[in-house]
Structure 1
Amino acid sequence: MDTTANAPDSLRPWIASYPEGILWDAPVDETPVHEQVLAACARNPGALALDFLGGTTTFGELGEQINAFAGALQSQFGVTKGSRVALMLPNTPFYPVAYYGVLRAGGTVVNCNPLYTVPELSHITANAGADIMVTLDLQQIYEKGEALQKAGHVRTLIVAHFPNALPLVKKILFSVAKRKDLARPTYASTIVSFEKLIARGDKPGPVKIDARRDIAVQQYTGGTTGIPKGALLSHANIAANVSQIDKWGDGLFYEPSKVVAVLPFFHIFAMTVCMNVPLGNGIPVIMLPRFELKALLGIFARTKANVLPSVPTLLNAVARADSVTPDQLASLEVAISGGAALPDEVRNAFAKKSSKAILAEGYGLTEASPVVCCAALRKPSKPMSIGLPLPGTDIRFVDVDTGAVVGIGQDGELQVKGPQVMSGYFENPEASKDAFMDGWLRTGDVGHMDEDGYVFLVDRIKDLIICSGFNVYPRTIEEALMTHEAVEEVNVIGVPDEYRGEAPVAYIKLKAGQTATEDTLKAFLRDKLNKIEMPREIIFKDALPKTLIGKLSKKELREEYAQGKAQKK
């Protein structure tokens, strides 16, 4: 039984700090997000829904494509409740069509990062049992899908033609100048055209969704370990977080707002804040396939977009660029920073570029769909805080050693309860059990709450590295390096990085008589790690520090690295 539901407000000091008009105990809408988006499509079919490099899709067109794709998934591939469909797509109009189409058909979305290596993708698709993968005919992405299919990890590839996402002139130019970047799929029964499925115009059959039991998204995360686990997020979990964010926005996510989606939809933060929230409310999403400063500034100039969900890396790039002027960011009203801690120097530098915009730091994790806390979006909040718990969200801090709940101002592990919290991990009862303490989701993050209910994070319990908002696992890098014939021991730590928030640094002990350089090892790693995982530095040592029981120790390496940086200043 949840004893927090009727807890007195004295146990929730954050309620007194809530902006006027926002209620912590307001009802949370658990209507599945695909139903909300399809309702928005029917409500105002002529309104702009998607803008991709100037190519536009109205809500009416979006609704037709979602239903047609859902119908094709049902009729051609037998997708129904419980079916897992993998999406390996960058930000394009194909992503929301595929995402909502899978949900409308009754299936479960399995997001795949196109930057992942084939072994990483193999684990996710095999573990999930995702027989179908939706991807693009861009060569660098398509070849990974083809490799997964040849290895037997997916049965069917549904392939979208990238130039079709572009406005006419850019489509023609791309087809001529960038033809070599396109794969040439041999379409057959197991490699199918996305566009031809849409063109069939199949009508989806009814699917009765049990919002609290049926899984909408199986989102893979390592949490604080290196082996990704599938967090089971129900339709109600995702819809609840959308509703919580909508309430917290206090009208921000309604007309005439426009939301910039430069963060990738396959990341849980962008999926929720950049896509589900705005499209469910009938406002446009302005997409970029990846972050490029010139392109981002072009969006502000062309569309006058006013909401920018972001990560510290992006904000830092904008803030540090000499070419960026306040006039170029004049339309920006709110920038929401998530995915990693926001350094104070980045906050201050960004404020000089955009003095009008509110920069609000938020916090979440995959297992909470993802947002748990956020600074106010309509007025300034306490600096260096991740803000207040969202409506309907309870938090507590627990002593890391004893498990006892700690008081105001005392550091402990942040734990969460709320309608956005997952039920557990896919087919992993041990990990699911470890993720909770007395019904509270354990975050692995250490911090405290002040007397006004504002939350401050100070550290992480485990060794997870958060690089540009993505989880990087030392073990993955260590295991890749250990396959090199010259390496005897390796230990990877995360260090502060001005651009990415954190970056991995590898310490290496070579085998006796062997030689290797930083450049040769990085070249060795290129096909084993993605770009985010690549160590920023590789440092060679005669011996690596160990604990009393002989386990490689990261603590001494972190101290050594910090001392070395301090001496260089």
Structure 2
Amino acid sequence: MTSAEPLIPLTVTPAGSTTELLSHAARRWPDRVAIDFLGAELTYAELAAQVSAAAQVLREHGVGPGDRVAVILPNSPQHVVAFYAITSLGATVAEHNPLAAPEEIRAQLRMHGARVVLAWEHSLAAVLEGGGGGSGSTVLAVDLTAGMPRRTRLLLRLPLKAARAKRAQLRATVPPGVGSWDRSVAAASRSTSRPRVNRATARLSTTRSEPAARTAEDVLHTPSPGDVAVLLPTGGTTGTPKLVPLTQANLMANVAQGQQWVPGLREGEETFGAVLPFFHAFGMTLSLTFAVSKGATQVVLPNFDVDMVVASIRRRPWTFLAGVPPMLDRLAAAATAADPTLLRPLRYAISGAMSLDPKVAQRWEEATGGLVIEGYGMTECSPVALGNPFGPERRPGTLGVPFPGTRIRVVDPDLVEEDPDAPDVPDGEVGELLVHGPQVFGGYLDAPEESAEVLLPGGWLRTGDLVRRDPDDGFVALADRRKELIISGGFNIYPTQVEEAVRGMPGVVDVAVVGLPDTSLGEHVVAALVLEQGAAVDLAALREWLHGRVSRYAVPRAVHLLEDLPRSQLGKVLRRRVRERLLGPQAGQPQEGQPQESQPQEGQPQEGQPE
């Protein structure tokens, strides 16, 4: 077999668009529960009706084909509704991490210039400060509690300390002049007029000066394969923000590939645990598109909390879960302690974002009696590109084999830099992984130079990861990362971003940020500091300085004080050498801190291991 041929042919025909995906599910399983959010249920028919109402609201705000709508939300029914409403208009969902640093959110908003911003109440400050929403953008607030059961909403209003604390976690004050997304959609739902879907896929005007004309048309746009469905942020190799456009064709290809990869899933009968964040490619694809293609019920949780997960499984047993290894390990331990049979309905699990320890895989399969496989992907691959088979052929600890319709190459990274047609390295030797397939993106938004760095002629994607392909069975194993990315608890953390934030701190002369092994999180973030003479910087001071400057999960968990940092002949700090020094006996003055988040509230897919 040559690298120019797909390992597994793609035999499942991709669905046409996200709009058709949902309409098909609503027609085939109208009364099946589509979303269970902490006990509040929406059937597929009700979901489709809410999407129609939400699309009407967006049209009234001038959204049409080609426009961008920012979504800054945790997992919630509102997130699902917004995703399908936006794409049903031929517009683009610009996803954002609501836990990201405010300046990061504002920078991304400036990059894509969304017409409308749908923001969780706690994210409004990040959007509104400094004009982050962009000139002319309409900002609408989202109340997470609006999607919860009525009883829960009533309990949150009680004048009790616990209720007030929980309410403060979920809600925040909405500034004057900011409209309510939830009330607008509810009002549109009560409207007797319903938009008609144009089956002829007629294109509407994209001229921004014609919102009134669009509303009068009262027609939903049927997306075409080349329409950009989503924009997802990625920091790339340097941490510089870039936006990854994924088309309808990209998303539908990954859905079709997943359908072929897990043929044992029963249409209209499965229950998916939706704990990975929808604003990352892994959670987006597995929950927002793949689950709907199967007519699955999704148990949606706003974040990963073991007790919350166990309670939801007791209420509605899960049969499928996509997660990151620490999630699987903690859930298996907690569920086994509570009830050894609790996880038995979970027949399938997919692990991504970081390497799956074979021992974790074994514990999961013992707890569930089902199968767990590891996959590999990047945001730029929509996201999955390789995976282990669901069966006895799986090999825990490896990335698996190419997904259906996907080709790979393993090349010398230095040679391919000079000659894209350089031959592959022999099987068994280490080289950089290249990926080609219908799920691979076409280039970053407004970033031709950065796109040219990762896309070779013919659409081959440079992953930046070093792998080794087994000469006997073709299974691919990760050897090392060319990128100096830190993956902690499923989050991607870019050292350059953290270092830039630390360098402005008084008393700091130089800094290197690296990841050190952590059995529970994969890696934890460590800052190696060189201080001015007489300066005193400890972990508490560093964390206080970084508050609001970087995401919480990127804040170092330990500080090491060094006299100098190892550098190359050109003066570049050698992070690998720093890491080796900190792991060795010469490590300088560690100041360890307790992790602020022992388990992430989101899975991170992208880059390195799937997404």
Structure 2-normalised TM-score?
A: 0.85
CA-CA distance at 1:386 after TM superposition: 1.5
Q: Secondary structure at the match of 2:88?
A: helix
CA-CA distance at 1:164 after TM superposition: 1.7
Q: Number of residue pairs matched?
A: 547
> Judging changes above 3 Å, is the alpha-carbon distance between structure 1 residues 175 and 376 closer, same or farther for their aligned structure 2 residues?
farther
Contact kept, 8 Å, 2:6 with 2:405, in 1: the verdict is no
- The code of the aligned residue for 2:112 comes to A
The 2-side partners of 1:197 and 1:564 are apart by 61
CA-CA distance at 1:533 after TM superposition: 0.4
Q: Deviations over 1:301-340 (max 9, x none)?
A: 2211110100012123234557355322121111110111
Q: Deviations over 1:258-302 (max 9, x none)?
A: 110011111110100122111122111111111111111122222
In the TM superposition, what are the counterparts of 1:84-483 in structure 2 within 5 Å? 84-137=68-121, 140-147=122-129, 149=131, 152=134, 155-176=137-158, 177-178=163-164, 179-181=167-169, 182-186=171-175, 188=177, 190-201=178-189, 203=195, 204-211=218-225, 213-252=226-265, 254-321=267-334, 323=337, 325-354=339-368, 356-379=369-392, 381-403=394-416, 404=422, 405-439=424-458, 440-450=460-470, 451-483=472-504
CA-CA distance at 1:441 after TM superposition: 0.4
CA-CA distance at 1:14 after TM superposition: 8.1
Contact kept, 8 Å, 1:71 with 1:205, in 2: the verdict is no
Q: Secondary structure at the match of 1:159?
A: strand
More relative contact order, 1 or 2 (CA 8 Å, 6+ apart): 2
Contact kept, 8 Å, 1:253 with 1:277, in 2: the verdict is no
Name stretches of at least 5 consecutive residues in structure 2 with no aligned partner: 196-217, 417-421, 591-611
Q: Deviations over 1:428-464 (max 9, x none)?
A: 0001111112331010111022121211111111111
Contact kept, 8 Å, 2:234 with 2:379, in 1: the verdict is yes
CA-CA distance at 1:544 after TM superposition: 1.4
Name stretches of at least 5 consecutive residues in structure 1 with no aligned partner: 1-8, 16-22
The 1-side partners of 2:315 and 2:392 are apart by 26
- The code of the aligned residue for 1:340 comes to M
Contact kept, 8 Å, 1:249 with 1:378, in 2: the verdict is no
> Judging changes above 3 Å, is the alpha-carbon distance between structure 1 residues 325 and 352 closer, same or farther for their aligned structure 2 residues?
farther
- The code of the aligned residue for 1:542 comes to E
The 2-side partners of 1:538 and 1:262 are apart by 31
The 2-side partners of 1:41 and 1:255 are apart by 11
> Judging changes above 3 Å, is the alpha-carbon distance between structure 1 residues 187 and 51 closer, same or farther for their aligned structure 2 residues?
farther
Q: Secondary structure at the match of 2:341?
A: helix
Q: Secondary structure at the match of 1:558?
A: helix
> Judging changes above 3 Å, is the alpha-carbon distance between structure 1 residues 148 and 289 closer, same or farther for their aligned structure 2 residues?
farther
Q: Secondary structure at the match of 1:326?
A: coil
* 2:608 alignment counterpart: none
CA-CA distance at 1:217 after TM superposition: 0.6
The 2-side partners of 1:336 and 1:101 are apart by 28
CA-CA distance at 1:380 after TM superposition: 5.1
> Judging changes above 3 Å, is the alpha-carbon distance between structure 1 residues 172 and 231 closer, same or farther for their aligned structure 2 residues?
same
Q: Are 1:65 and 2:54 matched, yes or no?
A: no
Q: Secondary structure at the match of 1:216?
A: strand
In the TM superposition, what are the counterparts of 1:68-83 in structure 2 within 5 Å? 68-74=53-59, 76-83=60-67
Please identify, of 463-472 and 173-182, the stretch whose mean Cα deviation from structure 2 is larger: 173-182
The 1-side partners of 2:243 and 2:175 are apart by 32
CA-CA distance at 1:552 after TM superposition: 1.3
CA-CA distance at 1:123 after TM superposition: 0.9
Contact kept, 8 Å, 1:259 with 1:305, in 2: the verdict is yes
* 1:514 alignment counterpart: 535
Deviation above 6 Å: which 4+ runs of structure 1? 565-568
Contact kept, 8 Å, 1:32 with 1:239, in 2: the verdict is yes
> Judging changes above 3 Å, is the alpha-carbon distance between structure 1 residues 30 and 236 closer, same or farther for their aligned structure 2 residues?
farther
